[in-house]
Chains A and B, each alone.
Chain A
Amino acid sequence: MAETRLTEPIYKRPESLTEVQMHYCPGCTHGIAHRLVAEVLDELDLKDRTVAIATVGCSVYAYEYFNTDAVQASHGRGPAVATGIKRCQPDTIVFTYQGDGDLASIGLAEVMHAAARAENFTVVFINNAVFGMTRGQMAPTTLMGQKTTTTPLGRSVEQGGYPLNICELLAQIPGVAYLARETLTSPKRIRQAKRVLKKAFQVQAAGLGFSLVELVSSCPTWWYMEPLEALQWIEDVMLEQYPLKVFVDKLEDGR
């Protein structure tokens, strides 16, 4: 039997990630999401022609972590900034990395209109149902009854209205070329999340239009849970409000 020798590492830091240590809380899924995006950029050989857009929220330092050109955008305006970049440089790969406060609250107009214009860039949307960086206040995606620092008795219709389902809203818009919701709760789901992210960037590289991947993510710190408990809560509670689905796939449709 031939001797097996490992001459090449089989698992390493993606080229599209810097070596800067991330600042995220223990158990947060941002780190996984960053890694998946970076692996996709590596695998599609896009690293040297990508501009990452960091927004405001926990991922504000994303420009420190993605090893590509990067622009830091003001709160909610990532899709407008991405529009400006992409319209000047159609061959550059552009993605925004936005949380639910940034995208679903203050930046709802920008993401909706970017989709309506069929802007050819990718949005990575991290939905953890809470404003993380500002200490865990209610987000548009906070679940009914969920306790946050601004819904101390749990979200009620009277005080906070209803959760906003971004993918379901975007699915109505013809300019959307790829739209999927995944989560990061298990190795299986993480592998699937990478598949949908890769699809989104392939859709952009093919020039088909607006692509968005929502990743249902955990925030153990502001959910007041242990990391594993938080992942379980996604499975048991969050996915009922935010079911996993590929809503639009124009790459597949074209085949």
Chain B
Amino acid sequence: MPERQLITGNEAAAEGAIAGGCRYFFGYPITPQNRIPEYMSEHLPLIDGVYIQAESEVAAINMVYGAAATGAWAMTTSSSPGISLMQEGLSYMIGAELPCVLVDMVRGGPGLGNIAPAQSDYWLATRGAGHGDGRCLTFAPFSVQEIYDLVGQAFPIAQKYRNPVMILADAVLASMREPCALRDRLDPPEQKPSWAVGGDQKGRQRNIVNSLWTDPPVMEEVNLRIQQRYRDAAQNETRWTEHGADDPEILVCAYGISARICQTAIEHAAEAGIACRLIRPISLFPFPTEVIADWAQRVKKVLVVELSLGQFIEDVRLAVEGACPVERFGRTGGMLVTPEEVAERIIEIA
């Protein structure tokens, strides 16, 4: 019987990582995710792990790069401006085919912005990972329990696809306190991957971790190999939930905290006589394109709810492919929407 504890999203991210086998954490303080490095600094040294406070987010992601090169299960966490600084390192990790897990507790932006909840890092998370032809596999939890579960699951996924995995949450989820079922902490695997550097090199080929390919045909081959892993991930790792009317008029698409708000909103809309179905992508890259395309054939309109000014809606539109009109509702800059406001919008467009 798993133990249930009342913990914050930040603590769930930290404990979820440890439970999933992570023993190496490199980070830099930034609100609203400070409880994660604090938790790691307290817990990791007690279980033969390593916590290092880096001099910057730039250094933190490069420490993760070094740790990942040894085959260690390493992570960093940050919030929007810090994730911007990590883009270069992520690009190098993708190019060098190294796994890691990072968490973005999104805050209002652009610039220094504020420390209120926002979803305006959608592009950063799903298109980002710096320069070049790579992306982060991205998952968006909507509860404390799901943060805990997804962070833990992210490590084997990162290893399998040799690519960074980003957990995209927000300032509400970071500080929200909810009951969370905790599992026993897993030990990291003893067997190092064949490509890992370090340790005793006697009797094996030397390993090189590198993203420099000056010969364009070789670089193209590397990029195609990485792309194939994304296709495999689309087959195996695409996740979403859906619920509501089986014969809906309006399809509502939302992820993370917005989806949580929409759960109540579609109940309000149903009371007003408008049947809705809510699709909540859990994986943002790979994106649940097919299921949205399917429903788009059967509804009058799609309403996208996001705490950003038209980022998430692009992926929905790509899925809908013009099958029906796609509208957007949301706020920005750290402002939240209420279920009543969303319901009102649903009634307006129905």
Q: Footprint of B on A, CB under 8 Å?
A: 47-49, 51, 53-54, 60-61, 63, 67-74, 77, 80-89, 91-92, 109-110, 112-113, 117
Contact = CB atoms under 8 A, between A and B. Distances in A.
Interface string B182-226: 000000000000000111111000111111100000000000000
Contacts of A51: 69, 197-198
28 contacts: A48-B201, A49-B201, A60-B212, A68-B201, A69-B197, A69-B198, A70-B206, A70-B209, A71-B69, A72-B211, A73-B66, A74-B88, A77-B65, A80-B65, A81-B63, A81-B69, A83-B66, A84-B63, A84-B69, A84-B70, A85-B66, A87-B24, A87-B52, A87-B67, A88-B74, A88-B198, A109-B56, A113-B54
A74 B89 contact: yes
B206 A72 contact: no
B197 A77 contact: no
A80 to B, nearest CB: 4
Contacts of B207: 69-70
A83 B63 contact: yes
Given A74-B92, A77-B59, A77-B62, 5 more contacts: A61-B212, A70-B209, A72-B210, A88-B24, A109-B59
A16 to B, nearest CB: 11
Nearest to B196: A69
A84 B62 contact: yes
B201 A85 contact: no
Interface in B139-190: none
B295 interface: no
A117 B88 CA distance: 24
Interface of B: 24, 26, 50, 52, 54-56, 58-60, 62-70, 72, 74, 88-89, 92, 96, 197-202, 206-212
B132 to A, nearest CB: 12
A49 B50 CA distance: 21
A148 B67 CA distance: 38
B62 A74 contact: yes
A216 B63 CA distance: 28
Given A84-B74, A110-B62, A72 B26 contact: no
Nearest to B212: A72
A85 B69 contact: yes
Given A69-B201, A71-B210, A85 B59 contact: no
Given A48-B200, A63-B208, A85-B197, A80 B24 contact: no
B298 to A, nearest CB: 48
B40 to A, nearest CB: 13
